[in-house]
Amino acid sequence: MNDHRMRVAIILGSTRPGRNGEAVGRWIYEIAKNRSDADFELVDIKDFNLPLLDEPIPPSLGQYSNEHTKSWSAKINSFDAYVFVTPEYNHGISGALKNAIDFLFKEWNDKVAGFVSYGSAGGVRAVEQLRLVMAELKVATVRAQVQLSLFTDFENYSNFKPHPFHRKVANNMLDEVIAWAGALRVLRTKE
């Protein structure tokens, strides 16, 4: 297991048409893929076509009946850590992201998450909600977080032009995610 290279999912947490999240997700992915300390993959929840939670058995039991859940489970389970790219809608996370998270349980356990958020207040309230959800799923969260403002990091609220200092914050967050993923490895390898 010591030779296992860390795998980090950058999860795009909005399915809204015309979403700003695609540009933000590509930006953090470009920063991440230039690193040599882990493998990164951009995972768009939109690609999984998850309906409102439709599994008859609670996800904590891991007995999935639908193919979309099994596919989502396999994808999420393949990672050691996550970076959530989240908008802030009405002082919270998007319904699509919360729904995607709620489909699973054990796949998230004993891993770590970092956050890249955007919104009128930098998405900080959405991340606070995500931290509570992650705690219930046994996911550690890192302190460093990228907070993007619709007023200063997006031209006309839609053309993503992040301030250069966000790159340093992004790398600090990724440093913490990789470090914690390594520290939690022992929990993930117990049977």
Tens digit of pLDDT for each residue in 95-143?
A: 999 999 999 999 999 999 999 999 999 999 999 999 999 999 999 999 9
Q: How far apart are the C-alpha atoms of 123 and 39, rounded to whole Å?
A: 26
Confidence (pTM): 0.96
CATH class given for the domain over 7-189: alpha beta
How many Cα neighbours within 13 Å face the side chain of 158? 4
**pLDDT tier for residue 2 given thresholds of 50, 70 and 90:** low
Q: Where are the domains of the chain?
A: 7-189
Burial class of residue 63 in the structure, from the number of CB atoms within 10 Å of its CB (0-12 exposed, 13-18 middle, 19+ buried):
exposed
